A and B are shown apart, each in its own frame.
Chain A
Amino acid sequence: MLAEHTLFFSAFSFYFAATICYIAYLVWLSRGLLVTGKLLAGIGLIANTMALIARTLAAGHLPFASMYEFGMAMVWLIVVFWFVVDRRQRMPALGAFMLMLAFMLAGAFLSFYQEAKPLIPALKSNWLMAHVITAVIAYGALALSFGMATLYFWYSKFGEAADKEKTKLKIAFWVDKTILFAMPFLTLLIVTGAVWAEYAWGSYWRWDPKETWSLITWIIYSIYLHGRMIKNWTVHRTMGLAVVGFLAVLFTFIGVNVLLPGLHSYAQ
C-alpha cells in the first residue's frame, strides 16, 4: 500500500470523525465534543501534511499535477483556513460545516487516486507553480466562504433568538472578508492560466470548458461584489450567491475534469 495514499485516507478518516464530534456538539453543546473534534481535526491535518510531503517525494515535484494531488493541497488549505478563523472568531458551529466539506472533498479526491508520475510535457513550466498556488488559495478561501454562508443559513433557521441577528451579521462580515481575500487570487488564477496558455499553445483564451467555467465562477463572485458593496443587496441574498459561487467552483474543478473534455483533461 502506498504511504501517501494511506496518510491521506487517514486524514479523511480523522476529518470524518471530527465532523461527527462537531455535529454532535451542535445537538448537545458539550465542550468535550468540541475539544475532541478539534483534536481529531488537528491529527487529520498532520496526516494530510505528511501525505502532501510523501506525495512530493514520490512524484519528484510539488503535488500540483493531477486532480488528486491538487485536491490534497486544497483540502489541507481548507482545514488550515478553518483553524485560522476558529482561532480568531468564536464560531464553533463553523467546524461542523468546514470539516464536513473537508472530509467530503477528501473522499471525492481519494476516488481519483493516481500513482505519482513525473510531469507531462505540457506541465513542465514555471507557470504551473503560480497557477496552481493561486488556485489552491482562491478555492480554499472560497470553500471557507461557502462553509460560513451555509452556517449563516443554519443560524437563520436554528440560531438562538437572543443574539441571532448579531451573529448572522458577524458571519456575513466574515463571508465578505473571505470573498474579498479570495477574489484577487481567483483573478490571478485566470490570468496566470491565460498567460501560460499563450506561452505554451499560442492562445490565451480558447473557450476551453475549464476556461469558460472559471469565467462563470469569476462572474458569479463579481456579481456578488457589485451586489454587496454597491447595490447593497440583502445579506440573505448575497449569502445565497456565496453558496452558488462555490458550487460553480466545485464544478469548475471537479465537474469539468470529469464530464467535459478539454485542455485540462490530463488533470483527471
Chain B
Amino acid sequence: MLMDVKSQPAGEWRRVLYDLSSMNTGLALMVLIAGIALVATLAFPQAEVFHSPWFRALLALFCVNIACCTFRQFRALWAVSRRVPRCSPSASWQRSQWQANITAAEVEQFLANCRYRVHTVQAGTETIVYADKGVAGRWGAAGVHLAIVVIAAGALIGNLFGFTQSVVVGKEEAVPVPLYKTGIQQAQLTLADFRIEYYPDGSVSEYLSDVTIAADNEQVQQTIKINHPLQFQGITVYQMDYGHQVLARIHGPDGTVLSASWLTDDGKLVIDGEKEITLQMIKYIPDFNPHRPAVSLSPLPNNPKVLYAFYQQNEAIDWGVADFGQRMRLQGNDTWIEFAQVRPYSALDVKSDPGVPVVMAGFLLLSIAFFLSMSIRYQQVQIRISTGSKGMTIHAAVSGLAGGRGELFFEELEERLTKGASSSC
C-alpha cells in the first residue's frame, strides 16, 4: 500500500486489480477490522466473532488487497532500482519555487553531494533534474507487505493441514495421540508422573509432566513444562492444565465391582441407566475444611475428600462429602458406590502445524523489513530550471519528507543553491 496509484489501468481485470490493491481499500479494511475487533472485545468478549466466517472473509479480503498491492509494489520497485524514475509530481508532493542563477550541473552536483541518484533531462527550454535516494527503504516497505502475505499464507497452511487435539492423561496411564490430521497413525503417550514444584514462599514454580511417547520403534522420554514442549515425529505436545482424577466404583450387593471409572472435576458416572441416576464428582478437595467445604486449605493431601451429588433425570436428589473408601448407597438401590483412589492427571495439547515455519519466516521478514523501512526513507526530488523574462526560476518538488521536513528541505536547498551549488550537503 505504500505505492500511490496515480492512474487507473485499462481493462476490466486490471480495474478489479486496481480496486483491490488500492491503498484506500486497504486503509478502509484496516479501519473496519480494528473497529470490529474493538467492539468484539468490549461488547461481546465471549462471542466467537473472530472465528466467524464473515470476519475470516474480511481478513481474507485484506490479505488479497495486500497481496495485489505487494505484487504491484515489487514490479514498480524493480524499475525504480534500475534507474531514477522520471515521474511527474503528484498532488501529495510538496512544492516550492524561487529565483536563482544556477546551472543544471550545479544542481546535479549539490544533489549528488547529498547522496541522491541523479538523472537530468532537457525538455524544450526547461532542464529537469530527477533525483532519488533511500531505495532500500522502499524495499523495506515492500518487505513489510510481503511479510503480511507470508504470515497469512502460513496461517492458511496451518488451517488446512494442521490439527490440535487435547488429551487428558492420568498418572501411569497410556493414551493414543494422533501423528497426522487423519488420525490413521498414532503414537502411545504415557504419563509416568505429574508434579508441581514450589518456591520457598509456597507459590508454584513449575508444572512437570514426565512422559514417554512411542511410535514406529522410536521412543522419547521427556519432562514437559510450560515453555518446554515435547517434539516428536512432527507433533508438539504442550503442557496446558492439570488436576486430580478420582476412581469411582459401583459395587453390587455382594461387593463385586460392577463398573469403575476415573472422574475429573464435574465428571459424571451412570449408576442406573433405566432410572437415569448419575453420580457427579463435583470436586476433589485435598485438604478439607469443614467450615468452607468447597475450598481446600492447602494443595497437600492432608484430609482428602470428595464433594459429590446424585442426579435423577438431571435433578439433584442427594449430595455430600465423602471420604475415600466410604460406602454411599441410594435409597431403594442395592448397589453402593465408593471413591477408591485419587491420582494426578495432566491435560496436554497435541499439535501439528506445518504452517508455523512459514509464519515464523513471515515474522522474521516483518521485523527486519520494518526496521529497514523506518530507518531509511525513500525520497524523490524533481527540480525544473526554466529561463524566462525575469531570469531563472527554480521549481522544486519533493516527496517522502513528511512532518515539516519538506519545508526544511526547501529552505536548505534554496540557501545552498543561492550560496553556490558547490556547497556540501
Q: A residues touching B (Cβ–Cβ < 8 Å)? A: 117-118, 120-122, 124-125, 127, 168-170, 172-177, 180-181, 183-184, 187-188, 191, 194-195, 198-205, 207, 209, 212-213, 215-216, 219-220, 222-223, 226-232, 235, 256, 260-261
Contacts and interface: CB of A to CB of B under 8 A. Distances in A.
A120 B203 CA distance: 8
Nearest to B362: A191
Contacts of B359: 198, 204
B362 to A, nearest CB: 9
A118 B203 contact: yes
Interface in B177-206: 199, 201, 203-206
Interface stretch (B23-31, B211-219, B335-343): B23-31
Contacts of A228: 402-403
A198 B23 CA distance: 32
9 contacts: A124-B226, A170-B404, A195-B363, A201-B349, A207-B51, A209-B41, A209-B45, A215-B34, A261-B45
Contacts of B226: 121-122, 124, 200-201
Contact of B23 (A118, A172, A226, A256): A226
B288 interface: no
B229 A202 contact: yes
B31 A176 contact: no
B205 A118 contact: yes
Contacts of B356: 198, 204
Interface in B34-48: 34, 37-38, 40-42, 45
A42 B159 CA distance: 53
A14 to B, nearest CB: 32
Interface stretch (B104-112, B275-283, B366-374, B414-422): B366-374
Contacts, number: 139
B367 A187 contact: yes
B41 A202 contact: no
B51 to A, nearest CB: 8
B374 A184 contact: yes
Contacts of B42: 260
Interface of B: 1-2, 4, 23, 26-27, 30-31, 33-34, 37-38, 40-42, 45, 50-51, 91-92, 94, 155, 164, 199, 201, 203-207, 225-227, 229, 236, 238, 240, 349, 351, 353, 356, 359-360, 363, 366-367, 370-371, 374-375, 377, 400, 402-405, 407-408
Contact of A202 (B203, B351, B360): B351
Given A117-B201, A172-B403, A184 B92 contact: no
Nearest to B356: A198
A239 B50 CA distance: 31
B349 A176 contact: no
Contact of A191 (B30, B203, B367, B407): B367
A235 B92 contact: no
Given A198-B360, A202-B238, 15 more contacts: A121-B204, A122-B227, A124-B226, A169-B403, A172-B403, A180-B374, A201-B226, A203-B164, A212-B37, A212-B41, A220-B34, A223-B27, A223-B30, A230-B4, A231-B92
Contacts of A174: 403
Contacts of A220: 34
A219 B50 CA distance: 16
B175 to A, nearest CB: 18
A176 B374 CA distance: 11
Nearest to A206: B50
Most chain-B Cβ atoms within 10 A of its Cβ — which of A169, A212, A220, A230? A230
Contacts of A223: 27, 30-31
A111 B41 CA distance: 25
